[in-house]
Amino acid sequence: MESNFTTKDTYLKHFSPRTYLETYYTFGPSISKESEILMHNLRKLSETFSLGRVKGDLLIDIGTGPTIYQLLSACESFKEIVVTDYTDQNREEVIQWLKKEPGAFDWSSVVKYVCELEGDREKWAEKEEKLRERVKQVLKCDVTQAQPLGPASLPQADCLLTAYCLEAACKDLPTYQQALKNLNSLLKPGGFLVLICALKSNYYMMGNERFSCLPLTQEEIEASLEKAGFMSEQIDVFPLNFSRTYTYNEGILYLVGRKLNTSMGIQN
Ligand code: U7K
């Protein structure tokens, strides 16, 4: 049977970071569904990383896309951050921001919002600098491969973060489960997984182009995580939906899990 799921090749040829950023990450004065979801995710990430429970040396962001919002709280709790994406143009977009190149996307209003959550809106420029300093590498990744980062040798991470990536990268549930197993190998036993997913989403628009998404339920995600050697510690589902012009979804899942310690008896 032929599958119409968006291929990796289509991502390389047709994914436009600019169109995507302008559609989903314009943090304007008029409140949109997209910015409500963004603010919600920023609040959850700030709870996770600033309450001090999730911290360590190395955090790897899987499928960073062209965005950095997801790292704004994490950069306070991790010494080193590695960002990764399959598409060259997404990695280039992030590098532009890291290097403060002219024409880089302006994240400052999002950074200010996070600083306000963390207690001091005025520290936004320092936070930008901190994040730029903590991102040590920008790597290619492919979650469908047994070694998602290829031959790049990194120590196992203390935390993996992944937002809206796996459901876009995986065409069916078995592929999704395998991708989680592939990611498991990048994480220390006892290490944290922070996952954000648009539930039951089957597509998202970028300009006039439709990109596929694997519709997943909370139950499918939990079962897949368990099979892949993770346990879920915190699962929140929020009844937030993207604008129907761009996407179909039924809520946003925010999950914090851990890699099981497979050596018997020892629990971190
Ligand atoms: C709704 C609303 C907005 C998908 C979920 C539904 C978005 C992120 C984005 C992206 C890969 C691979 C493709 C990554 C193929 C790693 C994800 C980076 C959005 C939604 C939804 N979704 S935005 O598409 C913007 O940048 N990704 C990969 C897909 C590249 C193979 C292999 N390994 N992505 N998704």
**Model confidence over 194-216: pLDDT tens digits?**
999 999 999 999 999 999 999 99
Q: Atom 21 in ligand 1: which residue has the minimum CA distance?
A: 204
Give yes or no for residue 164 CB within 6 A of ligand 1: yes
* Closest ligand 1 atom, residue 249 Cα: 1
pLDDT at 51 over 90: no
Give yes or no for residue 20 CB within 6 A of ligand 1: yes
- The edge-to-edge listing of strands for the beta sheet with 56-61 is 135-140, 78-85, 56-61, 157-163, 187-198, 252-259, 230-238
Give yes or no for residue 86 CB within 6 A of ligand 1: yes
Give yes or no for residue 242 CB within 6 A of ligand 1: yes
pLDDT at 6 over 80: yes
From the CA of 122, how far away is ligand 1's center (Å)? 32
Q: Atom 3 in ligand 1: which residue has the minimum CA distance?
A: 204
Q: Is 218 helix (H, G, I), strand (E, B) or coil?
A: helix
User: Mean pLDDT over all residues of the chain?
Assistant: 95
Q: How confident is the model at residue 168 (pLDDT cuts 50, 70, 90)?
A: very high
pLDDT at site 1: 61
Closest CA to 48 of 80, 72, 66, 31: 72
- Could you tell me if 246 and 204 are in contact, meaning their C-beta atoms sit under 8 angstroms apart? yes
Q: What is the CATH number of domain 2-259?
A: 3.40.50.150
Domain segments of the chain as ranges: 2-259
Provide φ and ψ at 253, rounded to 5°: -100, 135
pLDDT at site 238: 97
One DSSP character per residue, 145-188 reads SSSTTTT---PPEEEEEEES-HHHH-SSHHHHHHHHHHHHTTEE
Give yes or no for residue 143 CB within 6 A of ligand 1: yes
Give yes or no for residue 201 CB within 6 A of ligand 1: yes
Closest CA to 255 of 229, 233, 230, 224: 233
Q: Classify 19 in phi/psi space as left (phi over 0), alpha (psi -120 to 50) or beta.
A: alpha
Q: What is the pLDDT of residues 146-161, one digit of tens each?
A: 999 998 789 999 999 9
Give yes or no for residue 90 CB within 6 A of ligand 1: yes
> pTM for the complete prediction?
0.96
Give yes or no for residue 141 CB within 6 A of ligand 1: yes
Decide the pairing of beta strands 209-212 and 78-85: unpaired
From the CA of 66, how far away is ligand 1's center (Å)? 10
From the CA of 262, how far away is ligand 1's center (Å)? 30
Give yes or no for residue 195 CB within 6 A of ligand 1: no
- Could you tell me if 78 and 159 are in contact, meaning their C-beta atoms sit under 8 angstroms apart? yes
